[in-house]
């Protein structure tokens, strides 16, 4: 059953759209990532113009994130204070990212920047998560107990304007989550992703937040930042396809519920290992596109 998408201006099989949404939603619910790193390439592969894929992807991540966030909220898994600070950073970052995007577009190398950002971030983070989870499993297998340690005191603790985040059991400078949020916001604007794949590990390893509030809080931040990015794209490039987004999110919210359930059954290191593998896979796939001789070295963009 085909459906014509008014903004993307192509017709796609409705079950293909629901399936893509479901797959991405499943990952979103399971790992607390928006799944944009998968959604944007999937949409482009299905024939959706890149600009529409990025903007509509952001709109869909908003829905998937709010649905997942709500489930975590009920379990007390959202640190509201931390989430608001991260969001403020995210809004500043996404605005700066949009400016950077236009600047690089003018120079003409925006595509390369996007591709290289994808490859660098996805492969390095995927690899890190994979290695870390294998290490934890190995240590448990050999009976090596790792004592819970305090994060060693570094220059980070010397930053001013400290704030107490009760739920995250942190007392740290407000600049740290603000800068982290802003950095993720830049990526949201440039790569058309939710940024969860950066935010989640950063919250675990950099902010040392307890695992039970990491996913919910990152979903909170992503909901608001992708909402603002959607609005920004609708305003500037008219590339948000609500019909496509609605269909994707029907698939995604269903997938997210299943994903969340599977996610709660798995151990933290298993989750991270699995997510690491998927992230690494997409990164390697995109790296291949950079290195393998293309079938046609010419490509067209109808404007």
For another protein, the binding residue among 182, 227, 271, 280 (CB under 8 A) is 227
Nearest to 170 by CA among 154, 181, 184, 157: 157
234 binds another protein (CB under 8 A): yes
Least Å from the CB of residue 178 to another protein:
23
Going by the DSSP 8-state scheme, the letter that residue 76 receives in this structure is T
Our CB check for another protein shows the closer of 44 and 243 to be 243
Calpha distance 23→286 (Å, rounded): 19
Is 51 near another protein (CB under 8 A)? no
Does 246 contact another protein by CB under 8 A?
yes
**225, 245, 271, 279: which one binds another protein (CB under 8 A):** 245
Compare residues 54 and 71 and give the one whose CB is closer to another protein.
71
DSSP state of 257: H
Binding mask 59-78 for another protein (x = CB under 8 A): xx-xxxxxxx-xx-------
CB 64 within 8 A of CB 28: yes
Q: Is residue 191 a contact residue for another protein (CB under 8 A)?
A: no
Q: Extract the tokens encoding 303.
A: 């404007």
CB of 47 to another protein, least distance (A): 8
The binder of another protein chosen from 81, 167, 233, 272 (CB under 8 A): 233
Window contacting another protein (CB under 8 A); options: 7-15, 75-83, 169-177, 193-201: 7-15
In the complex, minimum distance from the CB of residue 203 to another protein, in angstroms, rounded to a whole number? 22
Residues 8 and 242: beta-carbon distance below 8 Å: no
Nearer to another protein, 113 or 163 (CB): 113
Burial class (CB in 10 A: 0-12, 13-18, 19+), 72: buried
Does 152 contact another protein by CB under 8 A? no
- Location of structure tokens 């290191």: 269
Does residue number 262 form part of the binding site for another protein (CB under 8 A)? no
Among 240, 271, 274, 280, binds another protein (CB under 8 A): 240
List phi, psi (to 5°) of 118.
-55, -50
Tell me how far, at minimum, the Cβ of 175 lies from another protein, in Å: 29
Say how many residues touch another protein, by CB under 8 A. 58
Q: Let me know the angle formed at the C-alpha of 171 by 272 and 225, rounded to the nearest 5 degrees.
A: 55
Closer to another protein by Cβ: residue 128 or 287: 287
Other CB atoms within a 10 A radius of the CB of residue 6 amount to: 9
Give the separation between CA 58 and CA 239, rounded to whole angstroms. Answer: 11
Q: Find all residues with CB under 8 Å of 292, minimum gap 6, and list them.
A: none
- Degrees (nearest 5) of the Cα angle 61, 62, 63? 90
Applying the rule CB under 8 A, the residues between 85 and 144 that interact with another protein are 108-109, 111-112
44 binds another protein (CB under 8 A): no
Closest CA to 132 of 69, 211, 212: 211
Range list of H helices, 146-267: 175-191, 196-201, 211-236, 242-265
| Positions in the binding site for another protein (CB under 8 A) | 2-4, 6-7, 9-11, 59-60, 62-68, 70-71, 108-109, 111-112, 223, 227, 230-236, 238, 240, 242-243, 245-246, 249-250, 253-254, 257, 261, 289-294, 296-303
């Amino acid at each position: 059953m085909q459906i014509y998408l008014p903004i993307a201006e192509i017709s796609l099989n409705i079950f293909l759209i629901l399936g893509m949404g479901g797959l991405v939603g499943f990952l979103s619910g399971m790992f607390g990532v928006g799944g944009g790193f998968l959604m944007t390439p999937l949409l482009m592969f299905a024939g959706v113009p890149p600009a529409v894929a990025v903007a509509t992807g952001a709109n869909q991540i908003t829905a998937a994130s709010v649905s997942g966030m709500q489930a975590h909220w009920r379990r007390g898994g959202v640190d509201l204070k931390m989430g608001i600070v991260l969001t403020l950073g995210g809004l500043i970052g996404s605005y700066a990212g949009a400016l950077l995007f236009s600047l690089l577009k003018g120079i003409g190398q925006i595509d390369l920047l996007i591709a290289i950002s994808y490859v660098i971030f996805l492969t390095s983070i995927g690899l890190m998560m994979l290695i870390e989870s294998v290490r934890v499993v190995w240590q448990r297998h050999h009976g090596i107990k790792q004592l819970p340690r305090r994060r060693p005191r570094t220059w980070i603790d010397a930053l001013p304007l400290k704030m107490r985040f009760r739920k995250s059991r942190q007392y740290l400078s407000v600049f740290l989550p603000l800068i982290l949020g802003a950095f993720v916001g830049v990526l949201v604007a440039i790569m058309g992703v939710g940024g969860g794949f950066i935010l989640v590990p950063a919250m675990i390893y950099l902010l040392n937040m307890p695992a039970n509030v990491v996913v919910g809080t990152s979903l909170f931040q992503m909901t608001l930042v992708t909402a603002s990015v959607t609005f920004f794209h609708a305003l500037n490039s008219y590339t948000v396809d609500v019909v496509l987004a609605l269909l994707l999110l029907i698939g995604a919210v269903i997938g997210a519920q299943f994903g969340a359930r599977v996610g709660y059954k798995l151990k933290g290191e298993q989750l991270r290992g699995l997510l690491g593998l998927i992230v690494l896979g997409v990164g390697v796939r995109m790296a291949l596109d950079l290195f393998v001789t293309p079938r046609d070295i010419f490509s067209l963009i109808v404007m």
